[in-house]
Amino acid sequence: MSKQSQSVRQILRSDTARDGAPVSPVVHVGDLLFTGGQVALDANGVITGDLEAQAHALFKRLRDILEQAGGSLRDILALVSFHTDVRDIETVFNIGREYFPSEYPAWTPVGYLGCQHRGARLMIRAIAHLGKEPRQCFLPDSQAWLKKYPVSSACKKGSLVFISGQTAADRDGNCAHPLDHVEQARVCYQRMLEVVGQAGGKVTDLLDFTSFHLDIRGGPATFEKVYMPDVMGTIHCNEAAVTSHVGAAGLLKTDMLAAYTSIADLTPGGRVGSTPDSIWWKDIYPIAGAAKKGHGTLVCVAGQVASASDGSPMFVGDSPGQVRFIFEAMRETLEGFGLTMGHVAEITAFQKDVRHWDVVMNVAKDFFDMSAPPAFSFPSMTGLWFEGFRHEISALAISD
């Protein structure tokens, strides 16, 4: 079990907590507040109500959480909504507009297979910044079609910029390059660089890329043909950003093949990475195991998988083995920055089978302090990078 970070950390309890699990529904560290995947549980821990009722319950819960922490919904910078039916997205957007009347968060909607709570049609993960700095929202003209939704392309507060899922839709909402994963990815990354530029940043400020793919088999090609040559270039992994790639059950529009989100830190100092030898892609790909800015405190940990030195899956069919390998790699990666697992504020545990929530929790008990664990989200997705991976787990940590 790791020693808790010395950073001021406040655990905010809610009715999504489950006794005996190393899970904090909400973690507040410094100016940042992280919610685990929130779902519409009633007082008895049961999902109740139709989609509209669940959406209202979740936005009210987010509002209550922020007010408890001394903030408001306007402090939310990034929001990911997971939907069991992507046809629900428009309805949730319409309800969300009632709670976000202006200056919308960087909101990314994706389809998923469900979570550990039976009947949850909607799960929401949010990150808020409670600092006194002004909040800025960006929506370039190239993405004018998003004006009909409560979505910003990016939100900035302080030095941090959160970029919503960038897609290949043009300013009128028509998707370019249907059925072409590589060319759509090229457009997505161009959109990302455009919006981080509007926020005053550049490609070397980007710490994390998370991509949701309608068909995860398109991921490796886009990585090899776009991310490596056009975005990261030939830099070493310990100067690179981190990545996570998962399959989604659907996206906002039918022709969208992927949505690419990112986090940037405009803090001075170059981007630095920690990539221990246990991570198979070290010295092969421009991906760090974890990345931060030299003078920044936000640490982004790549989506970790149980891979052998050649990238092939380990512990095939053995979920506990894969999860333990992942957390060991995460711990070693953080040690490269002088951090422990106690510095982890938020974890997103992507998994192939929703029933494996208990597996992740049972292993996590050996790695996290039960008195102050991270916020957890458990979306079950359609695919991970290679067949054989059951789990891909990413994290956000705050250094002292």
Question: How much is the pLDDT for 278?
Answer: 87
**Token pair 């982004």 in the structure block, residue:** 300
Say which residues have a Cβ less than 8 Å from residue 247's Cβ, sequence separation at least 6. Answer: 212, 213, 214, 215, 216, 381, 382, 383, 384
Q: Report the pLDDT value the prediction gives residue 283, as an integer from 0 to 100.
A: 85
pLDDT at residue number 18: 52
Residue with tokens 């545990």: 349
Return the residue matching tokens 């095939």: 316
Residue 255 CA to residue 180 CA, distance in Å, equals 10
Please tell me the predicted confidence (pLDDT) of residue 19: 59
* pLDDT beneath 70: ranges in the chain: 1-19
Q: Please give the pLDDT value at position 17.
A: 43
Looking at residue 2, its pLDDT comes to 52
Q: What is the pTM of this model?
A: 0.95
What pLDDT does 21 receive?
Answer: 85
